[in-house]
Amino acid sequence: NAGVTQTPKFRILKIGQSMTLQCTQDMNHNYMYWYRQDPGMGLKLIYYSVGAGITDKGEVPNGYNVSRSTTEDFPLRLELAAPSQTSVYFCASSAHRERGEKLFFGSGTQLSVL
């Protein structure tokens, strides 16, 4: 099983450029999430989705957009990149089970906006 796959692993953007961070999971999880993590800090939730066609804002959604057209994919779109969006981005997924709900993370995308 591949689990949660994120692409690209690294990216450098110029101010004002746009890009899409890809996230795919093969575990048929209904919940998917996007986080950002600034150096030395914890994870901050950007957007999340409870199923295909349903998305909602997290703690820090400004400057980002998401879509969830399939169960497997949850891309994160950056419009008009700004230096403040320099961070490591993590995608994660989960599915509620009777004995609990494990969260599975991708390996991250390191983004620099210069």
Partner 1 sequence: DAKTTQPPSMDCAEGRAANLPCNHSTISGNEYVYWYRQIHSQGPQYIIHGLKNNETNEMASLIITEDRKSSTLILPHATLRDTAVYYCIVFYTNAGKSTFGDGTTLTVKP
CB 66 within 8 A of CB 78: no
Q: What angle do CA 26, 70, 77 make, to 5 degrees?
A: 100
- Residue 105: count other Cβ atoms within 10 Å of its Cβ: 16
Per CB under 8 A, 105 contacts partner 1: yes
When binding is defined by CB under 8 A, the residue of 21, 35, 64, 111 that contacts partner 1 is 35
When binding is defined by CB under 8 A, the residue of 21, 48, 64, 66 that contacts partner 1 is 48
Which positions ≥6 away from 14 have C-beta within 8 Å? 81, 113, 114
Interface segment toward partner 1; rule CB under 8 A; list 13-21, 61-69, 75-83, 92-100: 92-100
Per CB under 8 A, 104 contacts partner 1: yes
When binding is defined by CB under 8 A, the residue of 13, 64, 94, 113 that contacts partner 1 is 94
When binding is defined by CB under 8 A, the residue of 19, 60, 82, 88 that contacts partner 1 is 88
Residues making contact with partner 1 (CB under 8 A)? 4, 31-33, 35, 37, 41-43, 45, 48, 50, 58, 88, 90, 92, 94, 96, 100-108, 110
